[in-house]
Amino acid sequence: MAAFLGNLRNVTIASFVLALLLVVLYASLQGFDGPTFELFTLRWLHVVCGVMWIGLLWYFNFVSTPTMPKIPDELKPALGRYITPAALFWFRWGAMGTIFFGIVLAFRNNYLIEAYTLDLSQGLAGYPLGPKYLAIGIGMWLGTIMWFNVWFVIWPNQQKALNIDGKYPNLAAPEKAAAAKAAGQFSRINTLLSIPMLFSMVAAGHLY
């Protein structure tokens, strides 16, 4: 058991196998409806990627950044060289998976345009499709802004600040500091947006 739990790849595979067994259980109890299960799978993948993304966002903001001043100077390089780049890999691809599966899910459910136009696509006289689409639209816009910040602000600046993959070996200290500051500020902006984004997403499915 110790050897199994010590291998992350095996644990991850086993986790997906257990999920597959739950699919079999579902099919045996409810029957298997292809279109319904397709939409469920898209929603499930959207949530899985979102947990990875927002979980790491909160790790950076609630754990890593506040703890950094307490770490001895001789240990800080290891964090910037090994742990943070690895976390940023899953962070940015979690964001990409979240936005991708979310957009595909909205398209397959026929509310992509309604959501992104905040349900105003058919005129400004009220909300013809109901507040559910307004709520999911707000959540999608907040999520899209956060995704943009990850890929086009946070990640490029972290590459500079930490010289990830050796792309910026000769960057001057002031430029590294400016890049780190920009990445940190936009990470805080994403933290600010994350809670209302999650509220809007959940409210669309359970309050309206």
Burial class (CB in 10 A: 0-12, 13-18, 19+), 150: buried
CA distance linking residue 44 with residue 49, whole number of Å: 9
Residue 172 lies in a domain: yes
Virtual CA dihedral for 183, 184, 187, 192, nearest 10 degrees?
-140
Residue 39 lies in a domain: no
Residue 129 lies in a domain: yes
pTM (predicted TM-score):
0.91
CB-side neighbour CA atoms (13 Å) of 108: 15
Per-residue pLDDT of the chain (208 residues; tens, 9 = 90+): 889 999 999 999 999 999 999 999 988 888 888 888 899 999 999 999 999 999 999 999 999 999 999 999 898 888 889 999 999 999 999 999 999 999 999 999 999 998 998 877 655 445 555 678 889 999 999 999 999 999 999 999 999 999 998 889 999 999 999 999 999 999 999 999 999 999 999 999 888 7
pLDDT at position 124, please? 47
Residue 190 lies in a domain: yes
Number of separate domains in the chain? 1
Residue 102 lies in a domain: yes
Virtual CA dihedral for 10, 16, 17, 22, nearest 10 degrees?
150
